[in-house]
Chains A and B, each alone.
Chain A
């Protein structure tokens, strides 16, 4: 006898319901369409704007050498790679990038992942498991958090950049766990401050813990030649996992890790994200190679980025803006209430400046802000124009 069907289920109604819920709460993403390249002057939704929210810090995505190298690689090796890395998709191009990267980072070895997210969510769950603990800065980026969620390890959170609290957790964890993994962002994406990696590495060696840094916003930006957080603190090779991305300052796409040969062998044999997605097309690998080459040979880009950053920050401060604890090109302009940040962002856009508001709960309720990101491609005129508008609107909205 057949069972009676009781439920008249609408299988996909939730798609629209949940989307509408986001729309009502104003939490849905309204995609802005870039009609130009990601350049210091971009065309966004038909309007010419000065771009302040791109991660293309060094403007390398528009560098002729990267573009040429991508074209050459595509012409020579085709549009796609044909496979995952593990089977038949590892091209000599990929190996060349990895070798060049390890040399640049001054580590034994390096490995390219499909994206930064794939690196975090693929590697972290392999490094720890049941009976282990991950100790994490409270402000770590979402992709780290997801990687952490995929593990069976316990998790403990310490106060942002608070080495004292970190040590307390280490002390507590020391006797209870098999492996201990400390994870932190290198440069924090909301505030632009830098993790005290030198101290973290010292503590870690004292307690026999591993260290893992997500240096997505530090690669190509901090340290000599933009070699990242290891170089910034002169502790190259001492961080167990230096993770980063080619999608920001390097101007391309792709995740990366740098560390010992043991780490790399372990990582590519065990990371499911790496094993189960197709490898980068030749054009991407070509551009990645050229990006590192440019960083090695043309120090002017990193220098220009910092000149712009220092000038912009100094001027904002002298106008009376609060730029928080930033030490990098990520410069938050803290305005207070969420509604004010949104209003300022809209008004800036009308004036031809594209900078997004960051509001609660991404940051504290009274610390809503406009997050600006400097670019080596901005001219002094760009910055002066931007500063003038910030001052005008800041006064109008009673922020300064």
Chain B
């Protein structure tokens, strides 16, 4: 079957990087003045060329894109023929409105995958329109790429596209992250979890026969994780359970019939939800009432952070009170295969050091099944 691929290039993505602006959201003019040059076009071309030269004949895909510099030019210049223009930007100075309008058309056309070239900002704009209805794959070209939908470089992205087209990759959760650029330029770090999109992921394989492996869906793996957490809750009936943010933890909670918040921290005691979307203060109050606590976390975003990205409510004081041994990290094997390390960035150097001293964590990857994963602190 012919795959329908939506293609968007954010021509200004990444321009703030080299001139030290940490993003172009709202400050494009300044970036240009500082000598910023467009880089997205080249990144998009590199990816498409790699895709064509190594993997794919040119006509098996049906492309949907925007006119001119937002996709059409790149697709044509590498020689794709089956291209449908779904939207034309009003001027050459493209904005997020153009991205969003294009995505509305993508929804109408029921395309199979959106391939875009940009950074976290572009990802957010796309996600705002398509939510988790269409899987998204990002060619990394922004200044910040904390979201879990990016390939690690143009080559890897081309490879993922090829594997998706050939049905060797499956669809799974991917976090869209949001960094407040205004705050960030002032030196403050505040990355929130913006939403859970659909991304393309490596399937998990389970050996079913001597040499036969069956790929199991993301949901099947998460069902196993839910089963595991259910046992943990039953085994530790006098513990308060804090459910962290993100798609994996959310899925587990919903499977256990708990009305969890996707992006927030929630508290469960004796199998009942006793607090939703908690901030630091409310968590601390709960910790006074319930001295025995277990915290369920999952890596968030592209770099494997379990703390410090998307869950800043879990302050250093909270983590210390809970204790490192009471943290349960869960992850699908697919997610771990793209994040070989777990990272923490709690904002407290001493606490980070306690994690690094541990060197590793046992990560639950299936029902009663765990594996060793190395820990790193945020040193980049």
Contact = CB atoms under 8 A, between A and B. Distances in A.
Contact of A159 (B211, B213, B372): B372
A154 B228 CA distance: 10
23 contacts: A27-B212, A138-B371, A142-B210, A145-B207, A153-B368, A154-B369, A154-B370, A155-B368, A155-B369, A156-B362, A156-B369, A156-B370, A157-B365, A157-B370, A157-B371, A157-B372, A158-B371, A159-B372, A165-B360, A168-B359, A169-B362, A361-B205, A361-B213
B209 interface: yes
Contact of B360 (A27, A154, A168): A168
Contact of B371 (A22, A27, A156): A156
Interface of B: 205, 207, 209-213, 215, 359-360, 362, 365, 368-372
B218 to A, nearest CB: 16
A33 interface: no
Given A158-B372, A361-B213, 18 more contacts: A27-B212, A138-B371, A142-B210, A153-B368, A154-B369, A156-B362, A156-B372, A157-B365, A157-B372, A158-B371, A159-B372, A165-B360, A165-B372, A168-B359, A168-B360, A169-B372, A361-B205, A362-B211
Contacts of A142: 207, 209-210
B124 to A, nearest CB: 31
Contacts of A172: 362
Interface in A149-175: 153-159, 165, 168-169, 172
Chain A interface, >50% SS class: mixed
Nearest to A158: B372
B180 to A, nearest CB: 37
Chain A residues touching B, range: 10 to 19
A358 B212 CA distance: 11
A145 B369 CA distance: 12
Interface string A362-389: 1000000000000000000000000000
Contacts of A362: 211, 213
Contacts of B369: 154-157
Contacts of A358: 211
A362 to B, nearest CB: 6
A362 B212 CA distance: 8
A8 B207 CA distance: 33
B207 A168 contact: no
A172 B205 CA distance: 26
Contacts of A159: 372
Contact of A155 (B207, B211, B215, B370): B370
Contacts of A168: 359-360, 372
A169 B212 CA distance: 29
Nearest to B369: A155
A29 to B, nearest CB: 8
Nearest to A117: B210
A358 B211 CA distance: 9
A361 B211 CA distance: 9
A155 B215 CA distance: 20
B248 to A, nearest CB: 19
Contacts of B371: 138, 156-158
A162 to B, nearest CB: 8
Nearest to B212: A27
Contacts of B215: 361
Q: Lowest 3 CB-CB distances: which A-B pairs, in order? A: A157-B371, A361-B205, A361-B213
Nearest to B203: A361
Contacts of B372: 156-159, 165, 168-169
A159 B336 CA distance: 13
Contacts of A145: 207
A157 B370 CA distance: 6
A144 to B, nearest CB: 10
Interface string A109-130: 0000000000000000000000
Most chain A C-beta atoms within 10 Å of own C-beta, residue among B207, B209, B368:
B368
Contacts of B365: 157
A15 to B, nearest CB: 16
A234 B209 CA distance: 34
Contacts of B362: 156, 169, 172
